[in-house]
Amino acid sequence: MKLSTALLTLIPTSAAAWTSVSPLAAKAHRFHAAAALFSVATEVEGEVATESFRLKFKGEDAVLSPWHDIPYKAETEGLYNMVVEIPKYSKAKMEVATKEEFNPIAQDIKKGKLRDYHGPIFWNYGCIPQTWEDPNVEHPELKVNGDDDPIDVVEIGGSALAMGTIAEVKVLGVLAMIDDGELDWKVVAISKDDPLAETLNDIDDVPEAVLSGIREWFRWYKTPDDKPLNGFGFDEKYLDAEEAKKIIDETNEAWQKLRSGDSDAGKLWTGK
């Protein structure tokens, strides 16, 4: 299948398209991210590309957790909210810090070093809030446990979305990645504001070149660090939108148990 030119996106022409945080930003710099239900402001603390960097979220009157305080379902019926952690074409491995108070976005650290991908990621990457892949529960068919994180989203639209953006997305399908013996679902979605959103409704609508690109990127991305290839369940096939939504709902149910104290939180910050 010939890849649609709308999916062959161009490199952003300005730093703002990569991230809302300029390397010269002051500590108190503020900007607004699109939100489905309410206005969300983000505030930078520390310096970009250092261990001190944090992108914090605030509502009108209080600090917010992008994991716990933003609804997983969007205001638009049938859509979900995505917290953008890593803008497309960037390399810094940014993530919602699940063990820190109010869960700001920070750069991941491995073995005392800031973590970067060895090449750019070609899609916007983030998570769906109010979800949790429970490490205490084994998947009945795949026989692996959850990875202890919110469920991940790969947004395949044509625009780079700024870090901290709360984007309403249409879920198209999901891939069951198995990373170091843990289940790490990858939801494939498209922003409702993308021109292709009206024509993409299920996983079969997505060009095979895009689906293969996502699978192979996640299969190989850890190998430069001498890590093994990642594997995939269900014969490496994507599950469709209906199944993806069921899985998202299951991870929301797991999150509810986490927040209520019915599941062991370990070192996670749940605001309780």
Known catalytic residues? 117
**Residue 103 corresponds to which tokens in the numbers above?**
């869960």
What's the Cα-to-Cα distance from 153 to each of 23, 129, 150, 174, rounded to whole Å? 26, 10, 10, 9
Confirm if 93 and 115 have CB atoms less than 8 A apart.
yes
The values of phi and psi at residue 205, to 5°, are -85, -15
**Amino acid symbol at 106:** A
Confirm if 95 and 110 have CB atoms less than 8 A apart.
no
**Residue 79 corresponds to which tokens in the numbers above?**
């859509």
**Residue 265 corresponds to which tokens in the numbers above?**
């939180």
- Give me the sign of the Cα torsion angle 155, 173, 131, 38: positive
- In three-state secondary structure terms, 84 is strand
Q: Are strands 182-191 and 124-127 parallel, antiparallel or unpaired?
A: unpaired
What distance in Å separates the CA atoms of residue 53 and residue 255, rounded to the nearest whole number? 27
Residue 185 burial class via C-beta count within 10 angstroms: exposed 0-12, middle 13-18, buried 19 and up: buried
